Amino acid sequence: MSKTKINFEPFGGWVVLPNPSKKKTAAGIILDDDTAKRLQTNILEVLAVGPDCRQTKVGDTVMVDPTTEAMLIHLDDVPHLFVNEFQILGKLEK
């Protein structure tokens, strides 16, 4: 489970997820665009959910439709994805 705490509560059926796009590795290596795209994942941990979300909760690990058009939002200067719950295909069991 992620230790990421965000100070934001979405309305309706919206879900906040971490941005999977990385331009730099944990070791500090800067990635070119093609490499960054290949390393991107659609398996993400839910950081916040709106009150109308019925199938996902904070801390769930979910699979997002890879063809979805997510909104990129910045919370505390950190980019996050903002998707509707129906764009989530399912969740992984722990």
CB atoms within 10 A of CB 87: 18
Query: Token pair of 7, please?
Result: 């100070």
Q: What is the pLDDT along the chain (94 residues), one digit of tens a residue?
A: 455 678 899 999 999 998 877 667 678 777 777 766 666 678 899 999 999 999 999 999 999 988 888 899 999 888 899 999 999 999 998 7
What predicted TM-score, i.e. pTM, was given to this entire model?
Answer: 0.78
Structural fold of domain 14-92: 10 Kd Chaperonin, Protein Cpn10; Chain O (2.30.33)
Taking the C-alpha atoms of residue 77 and residue 45, their distance in angstroms, rounded to an integer, is 19
